[in-house]
Structure 1
Amino acid sequence: MALVWIAGGVLSALLGWLVWLVVVEQAYTAGSDLGYNLGLAGGLLMLSLLLYPLRKRVRALERLGEMTSWFKYHMVAGVLGPLLIMFHSTFQTHSMNGRVALYSMLLVMISGLVGRFVYRHVHRGLYGKRLTLEDVERELNKSNDNMRSVFVMRPDIEVRLQAFRREANAPNRSALQKTWQFVTLRHRGRVIARSVCADARKALRKQAKTDAKAEGEVNRMAVRLNYLLAKQGIEAYVEAIVDAVQLSVWEKLFSLWHLVHVPFLYLLLVSGIVHVIAVHMY
């Protein structure tokens, strides 16, 4: 994880330096060979974004690789393409058609980032299969079974977690209450998970001291391992409750996102074509 943060910092610094060269030092212009080729490469990458929906809908293309690979390419091209076009434009627009094309591209990019965020809540992992309510309920039951040993030591933990589950699934809420619950449920789940984990740790330490009276010493390594397993089970259980409650909302948001993202993509295609024609004609 540390290496990821370091690599991200280095890349961000490098990107900032390149932006400084382009904007402040004016290393090239949009009409120069370098600027033109950056725009061409970025435009082709953006155009290639249409390959992913074609791969999904045209059966004749099924032999051209797995959908996960196409989706990965779609995500990378959706970020790298706009970045190259921004460098092509030197982060400025000097014409109406250029502004329309640039803003259309930014709409598609922002929409894509939002879509990626929503996508991760309705699929197993970033490139996994779409989740169903049965999948989430299965995870919830599995987490509940793994928690049995903790429940035996502290029955009140099970009571509190079940109370959280009942409250999360409480019906007959107003639209405002449902919205507030959706926004705050994951945070409240994390709060109760931390509280329950603290109580589980106390129970494990108490149990270890009781065992030490018979064995002569406290096995700190065993206490630590048992706590980590209990913590993992508690967090997984609370996470499963939140996922089960929120899944239907995320599915609706994902459907609405599709209705917005696709028109943005076509708007980008048309505005990009108009921009290219205008540049070469005038």
Structure 2
Amino acid sequence: MSINDVAEQQQKADINKLHLSPFEQFAAPFVSVALSLFLLWGWQQRDEYLITAEWGLGYWLGLVAGVFFLLIFIYPVRKKFKFMRSTGAIKIWFNLHMFIGVIAPVMIAFHCNFSLGATNSNVALYSMLFVVASGVAGRYIYAQIHYGLFGTHARIEELMDISHEARKMLEQTSGLAPTIQNKIKEFEEYVMKPSAGALSFIPRKIFIGISTWLTYFSLRRRLRPIIATQARLSGWDKKQEKKQFKESCKLVDILLRAIRKMAVYTFYEKLFHNWHKIHVVFFSMLLITGLIHVAAVHMY
């Protein structure tokens, strides 16, 4: 394999950072819907008192969830302290951190039977809800400055390289017809337009996301006759034509994602830095109130 071949493979690997697999795209929505339905069922059954916090399954759900919340600390400790760096890959601990952050609150909801109790338990419950809300927000912010939820931290320079490489590869595969070029330029001008401030940026970010999807499907529609013409002129069979169309759509998806991520990167990087401080405060509140709740339950 030549050096050029290796460089080309590396460029493609870098580009693919922005192309999410179906699992990455739909796993989180699927899990969210499934847990929401499960919680809705639990809420509807709360008057049946199938679970109580004082004994049996309800007691053990609370105990296990408390241990889970303590395990959440392993990820920040693993990331911060050198003596923990031999305890497994940080990606594994991050995934565990995310998993526990979703499962433990669900267990607590069933532990308390979706009802309020004594003052110490209510304070612990509200602290947990603050942490959950903060975690959901953080998950979204994190994905804006990383390559997906489980990818590495993105950099503006790298995003610019990916955008440039995707354009070049798209030009090689579909010729970047004027209709395609104009649509991409129109999208780029829209998302890169400076916002007046944070308050105006937040609603605009929603429209940027919607615009990305609309532009993608519009470009897919415009690419189809272009690829069909290329197939006819080049003598491709249907399989080759389908493969070329799929590859061109993938490059369009990567290019649009790179442009969108560059447009929002600076805003979300600052927001993530400030969010992290708030999240630490909320989690510290949860830890303290949770320990007080456990102590109060077993002492009285």
Q: What letter corresponds to residue 174 of structure 1 in structure 2?
A: A
TM-score normalised by the chain length of structure 2: 0.79
The alignment partner of 2:88 has SS state of: coil
Q: Which residue of 1 aligns with 2:206?
A: 183
- Residue 239, structure 1, aligned to residue 261, structure 2: no
Q: Deviations over 1:76-115 (max 9, x none)?
A: 2212222222222122122111111111111112211221
Distance 1:162 1:109, change over 3 A: same
Greater relative CO, 1 or 2 (CA 8 Å, sep 6+): 2
Per-residue deviation at 1:136? Answer: 0.9
| Contact 1:151-1:157 at 8 Å conserved across structures | no
* 1:63 is the counterpart of 2:81: no
Separation of aligned partners in 2, 1:36 and 1:281: 15
What is the root-mean-square deviation in Å for CA atoms of aligned residues?
A: 3.1
What residue number does 1:256 align with?
Answer: 274
Counterparts in 2 of 1:22 and 1:144: CA distance versus 1, 3 Å: same
> CA 1:10/1:106 → structure 2, altered by over 3 Å: closer, same or farther?
closer
Distance in 1, Cα, partners of 2:36 & 2:85: 40
Query: Which residue pairs with 1:51 in the alignment?
Result: 74
Aligned mate of 2:109, from 86, 90, 97: 86
Matches of 1:162 and 1:10 in 2, distance apart? 36
Partner SS, residue 147 of structure 1: helix
Q: What residue identity is the alignment partner of 2:196? A: S
Which of the residues 223, 226, 232 maps onto 1:203?
Answer: 226
| Amino-acid identity (%) | 29
Change (3 A) 1:73 1:245: same
Aligned residue among 164, 170, 179 for 2:187? 164
**8 Å Cα contact 1:151/1:158 also seen in 2:** no
Partner SS for 1:227: helix
Aligned residue pairs, count: 275
Uncovered stretches (5+) of structure 1, i.e. residues with no partner = none
What is the one-letter code of the residue matched to 2:228? R
Residue type matched to 1:90 in 2? N
Change (3 A) 1:228 1:118: same
Question: Which of 167, 172, 177 is equivalent to 1:144?
Answer: 167
CA 1:149 to 1:95, structure 2 compared with 1: closer, same or farther past 3 Å?
same
For residues 184-231 of structure 1, give each alpha carbon's deviation from its aligned partner in whole angstroms, at most 9, with x where no partner exists: 12221222232222222122334445x38xx6xx83333323222222
Displaced runs of 4 or more, over 6 A: 1-5
**1:223-261 deviations in Å (ceiling 9; x for gaps):** 323222222222221121111111112212211211211
Query: Residue 125 of structure 1: which of 141, 148, 152 is its match?
Result: 148
1:25-44 equivalent positions in 2, closer than 5 A: 25-44=48-67
Alpha carbons 1:46, 1:77 under 8 Å: kept: yes
Name the amino acid aligned to 1:42.
Answer: A
What is the alpha-carbon distance in structure 2 between the residues aligned to residue 264 and residue 102 of structure 1? 12
Rounded to whole Å, the distance in 2 between the matches of 1:80 and 1:40 is 13
Relative distance call for 1:271 and 1:200 in structure 2 (3 A) is same
Distance 1:253 1:98 in 2: 31
Alignment TM-score, normalising by the size of structure 1: 0.84
1:264–1:10 Cα change, 3 Å? closer
* Separation in 2, partners of 1:256, 1:10: 29
Pair member with larger Rg: 1
- Whole-Å Cα distance in 1 between the matches of residues 45 and 130 of structure 2? 23
